[in-house]
Amino acid sequence: MGFPFEPVGVGHTSFVADRGPSTTAIPLAQLPPDVAATVADAGVKQVNLYRSLSHAPDLLRAWIDFAWALRGHDTTSRRLRELCILRTASLHHSQYEWHQHRRMAREVGVTDYQVAELEMWRTSDAFDAEERAALALTDAIIASHVPDEVIQELERHFDHAQRVELTVTAAFYAMVPRILDALRVPVEGKEPDRGLPRPPGDTSANGARAQDPRP
């Protein structure tokens, strides 16, 4: 199938299929001024996912509100949640999601060894019992069935709030690759077009100010 890979230096190699499209399903658009200001004020950059969603500005605003609230929720560690997100990217062969979250995972302490061993998380010594429980939940959500034994293992390690946080994280980031694929959102640097149309209702001369790396 010709899967490109990310060599991680230790252990095995993590395979992620190349779904960085050469053409988009819809053109990338400028962000609405208020959204551009929000991401600029956060000190981050825009991403092509946001530019695709800009054709429906209200949905883009709702997306950012929810995604950022989820990312900022901290009943579990950001490192654990980034592990789960990388697992969703790997299972969906989402180059875009992998590209974005591999860097974020590294920044919060996910090791190269864990990335290399992610496909073998059930047996690898790179993961502790809590991490295995969270990854089992992630796999089960993507498989569309969470068996009782997965729930029982979660109960051993996490309280109710933590279980909700892990569940919503895994489910949300299992949805993201499907949107990326359907809209053919290109990985940053692979954009087929650079002239970005303005979103509906945007009459400003400069609708985009920053670039946000966070889906």
Maximum Cα–Cα distance across the chain: 56
Candidate from 9-13, 58-62, 90-94, 197-201 with smallest mean pLDDT: 9-13
Give Rg (Cα) of the chain: 18
Q: Is the dihedral of CA 107, 113, 116, 120 positive or negative?
A: negative
CATH number of the domain encompassing residue 162: 1.20.1290.10
Structural domain contains residue 180? yes
Are both 110 and 51 inside the same structural domain? no
Task: Give the residue numbers spanning the domain of 47.
Answer: 28-72
3-state SS, 126-146, equals CCCHHHHHHHHHHHHHHCCCC
Classify 143 as helix, strand or coil.
coil
Whole-number pLDDT of residue 191: 55
User: For the segment 165-186, what is each residue's pLDDT rounded down to a tens digit?
Assistant: 999 999 999 999 999 999 999 9
Please report, as a single letter, which amino acid is at residue 22: S
Closest CA to 16 of 1, 37, 31: 1
Whole-number pLDDT of residue 214: 53
Are both 54 and 150 inside the same structural domain? no
Whole-number pLDDT of residue 150: 98
